[in-house]
Amino acid sequence: MGKEIERKFLVKDSSFKMEESVKAMRITQGYLSSVPERAVRIRISDHQGFITIKGIGDKSGASRYEWEKKIPEKEAEELLKICEPGVIDKTRYNVQLGKHKFEIDEFHGDNEGLIVAELELKSKDEFFEKPQWLGKEVTGDVKYYNAMLKKNPFKKW
């Protein structure tokens, strides 16, 4: 349990796939609760289930409470059936640059065309290398939160 410090950026193009993308995995996720004060997410990734609780972010949107536990895939499948309407479908690419790992989500379905990179840091002002494919920072912009993308998908913007 604890706080995560995370910055989020739009991705300008798919050239990140030419970088040191060490893994690509398909992710399906839904929300039992999508209110900002306590988002409860169910996720299936690489045949493993997860339940995650996220609290409301600080003023910058870079830091918020997060708790996550692995659960059996079958249990996650059952919980997805009772989630709020709307499912997030995406492929996640992990790209290691120096000592930092970017998690890049390429969205499918109603969010097709949206590519977002997230970077976990030890502090909000920690220095990190910015690759050429990294675009505008959207940290704290709630419309890019997965819980909001299921309610107001990218194709409707």
The CA–CA distances, whole Å, from 27 to 61, 88, 106 equal: 23, 8, 10
Question: Residue 93 catalytic?
Answer: no
Rounded distance between C-alpha atoms, residue 40 and residue 30, angstroms:
9
Amino acid at site 71: I
Taking Cα atoms as reference points, which of 92, 129, 101 lies closest to residue 20?
101
How far does the chain reach from its first CA to its final CA, in angstroms?
Answer: 35
Active site positions, annotated? 31
